[in-house]
């Protein structure tokens, strides 16, 4: 696939990224695309490796290796190399519902498993994918299929994030009548309100949702299932219900002073910023949320990084990102061989912008908050940090990160954002449906299945597998749609 000697002839080249000094002044996307001729050369680097781990999507050592959607990566790359962009789009669409989302926000599991990346830079599969889908939109190739015949079956999808949208898309194509319920005021779930606009422009969501509406999918917003409408009502009206409502129960940080004003969950903060921007058509930037504040972000993942980039755009005085674990190595260790996911140090856009603005990486490793300090009015003014070290639990044998006495340090903070992940489903939803949960409060199903313990109720996405990636959510939504279709019709052609 690609040019036989392409990986030897061409160096990896990525699309231009707007410089920090320019991009922190707005909330526009800052990753730009290569010209098609240049992208064709990048696709030529796909090396006909024989065993394409890029599309395997298997678990190795507890981590995903390759694309969970099993995109036909070498075939798509080959078509991009040959300039056959419409065919590349058709090929990509066989396995993928929304390349416009993953080509912006996915950490590129495909590239991490690329054989070319074993000794050189991997093929730029993510940017190839973006070139394909944007070409398709620009040339009016992207259509949502309107079924010629309706089956008479009705399906409710609860949640309009990537898993809900993927399930709704396939079930509508099959001819079922699909209604998607969303508790927020706009469709998209965490795509809309959990990912900042500079990473995923919300017009990208809108154009896909518009196509789905034209094809017959019905979206109902401002409706919180379990509160505004009950499980009993839905089960009575619909033949099947798919719960795609995310793992939206945030992990808290319990420490003295937790009730101080100025401590927020990260996704709530990001949601408020995005909502104010969208409501005002980007004219009202909510600087008051972070301007001139010392910001402490607890959590080092994607959400923590997004908080760093957002706070810099809002004029934060300083940004510190706390990581409980030790700093990763800069290169793979012997215990982390290819094609496992590389557990190495990565510098994302929020950290890049922090380095540019403050002169240093915002991340502080093996550190957490021991105490939140309030002023007389109850406002957060400082936090007490403490270092952590790994110690073995004698009872369980597990290694835990525990505080090191005598390492406490007090630093100024007027805003703390908790980006420590999620604990699973929200109780009021699962209680209302009466579904069985696993030990992590995710909806329990048989391994590899999506049917819950309640008849006609299914689960997909983070509410099923726990907090994960957009690409996994899409894969889950597609798999759940096939399972529902087979249950309704006796067979499935999805």
* pLDDT tens sequence across 164-196: 999 999 999 999 999 999 999 999 999 999 999
Residue 1 has pLDDT above 80, yes or no: no
The two beta strands, 399-403 and 380-392, are antiparallel
430 CB contacts (<8 Å, ≥6 apart)? 437, 441, 443
- In this prediction, residues 82-104 reach a mean pLDDT of 98
DSSP string over 298-349: E--SHHHHHHHHHHHHTT-SEEEEE-SSPPPPSS--TTS-TTS--------H
- In this prediction, residues 273-278 reach a mean pLDDT of 98
Per-residue pLDDT, 395: 84
Mean pLDDT, the chain, integer: 96
The 8-class DSSP code of residue 268 comes to H
Per-residue pLDDT, 393: 87
**382-414 residue pLDDT tens:** 999 999 999 988 888 889 999 999 999 999 999
The DSSP H or E segment spanning 60 is strand 58-60
Q: Please give the domain boundaries of the chain with CATH numbers for all domains.
A: 6-138 (1.10.1060.10), 154-248+423-489 (3.50.50.60), 263-418 (3.50.50.60)
Q: How far from each other are the two terminal CA atoms of the chain, in whole angstroms? A: 27
**342-387 residue pLDDT tens:** 999 999 999 999 999 999 999 999 999 999 999 999 999 999 999 9
State pTM to two decimals. 0.96
Per-residue pLDDT, 2: 81
Per-residue pLDDT, 132: 98
- In this prediction, residues 420-441 reach a mean pLDDT of 94
The 8-class DSSP code of residue 59 comes to E
Whether residue 50 has a cis bond before it, omega within 30° of 0:
no
Are the C-beta atoms of 162 and 477 separated by less than 8 Å?
yes
Per-residue pLDDT, 48: 86
Closest CA to 290 of 260, 313, 258: 313
Per-residue pLDDT, 232: 97
What whole-number distance in Å separates Cα of residue 273 and Cα of residue 451?
A: 36
Confidence of residue 248 (pLDDT cuts 50, 70, 90): confident
């Amino acid at each position: 696939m690609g040019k036989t000697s392409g990986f030897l002839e061409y160096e990896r080249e990525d699309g231009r990224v707007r410089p920090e000094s320019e991009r922190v002044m707005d909330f526009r996307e800052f990753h730009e695309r290569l010209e098609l001729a240049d992208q064709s050369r990048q696709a030529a680097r796909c090396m006909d490796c024989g065993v394409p781990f890029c599309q395997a999507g298997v678990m190795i050592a507890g981590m995903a290796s390759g694309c969970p959607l099993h995109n036909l990566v070498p075939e798509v790359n080959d078509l991009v190399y040959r300039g056959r962009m419409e065919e590349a789009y058709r090929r990509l669409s066989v396995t993928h519902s929304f390349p416009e989302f993953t080509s912006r926000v996915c950490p590129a599991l495909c590239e991490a498993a690329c054989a070319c990346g074993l000794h050189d830079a991997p093929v730029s599969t993510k940017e190839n994918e973006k070139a394909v889908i944007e070409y398709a939109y620009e040339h009016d190739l992207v259509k949502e299929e309107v079924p010629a015949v309706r089956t008479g079956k009705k399906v409710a999808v609860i949640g309009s994030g990537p898993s809900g949208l993927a399930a709704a898309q396939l079930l509508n194509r099959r001819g079922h009548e699909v209604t998607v319920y969303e508790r927020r005021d706009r469709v998209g779930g965490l795509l809309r309100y959990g990912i900042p606009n500079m990473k995923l422009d919300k017009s990208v969501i809108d154009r896909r949702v518009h196509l789905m509406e034209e094809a017959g999918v019905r979206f109902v917003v401002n409706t919180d299932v379990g509160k505004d409408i009950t499980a009993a009502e839905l089960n009575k009206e619909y033949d099947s219900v798919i719960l795609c409502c995310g793992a939206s129960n945030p992990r808290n940080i319990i420490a003295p002073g937790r009730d101080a004003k100025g401590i927020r969950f990260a996704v709530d903060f990001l949601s408020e910023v995005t909502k104010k921007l969208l409501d005002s058509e980007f004219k009202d930037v909510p600087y008051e949320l972070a301007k001139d504040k010392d910001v402490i972000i607890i959590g080092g993942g994607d959400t923590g990084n997004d908080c760093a980039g957002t706070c810099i755009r809002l004029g934060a005085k300083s940004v510190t990102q706390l990581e409980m674990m030790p700093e990763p190595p800069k290169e793979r260790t012997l215990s982390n061989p290819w094609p496992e996911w590389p557990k190495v140090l990565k510098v994302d856009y929020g950290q890049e912008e922090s380095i540019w603005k403050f002169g240093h990486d915002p991340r502080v490793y093996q550190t957490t908050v021991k105490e939140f300090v309030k002023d007389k009015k109850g406002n957060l003014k400082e936090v007490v940090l403490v270092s952590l070290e790994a110690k073995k639990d004698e009872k369980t044998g597990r290694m835990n990160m525990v505080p090191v006495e005598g390492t406490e340090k007090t630093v100024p903070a007027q805003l703390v954002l908790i980006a420590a992940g999620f604990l699973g489903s929200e109780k009021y939803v699962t209680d209302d449906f009466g579904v069985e949960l696993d030990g992590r409060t995710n909806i329990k199903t048989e391994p590899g299945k999506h049917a819950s313990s309640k008849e006609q109720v299914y689960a997909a996405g983070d509410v099923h597998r726990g907090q994960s990636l957009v690409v996994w959510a899409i894969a889950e939504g597609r798999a759940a749609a096939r399972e529902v279709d087979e249950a309704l019709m006796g067979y499935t052609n999805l």
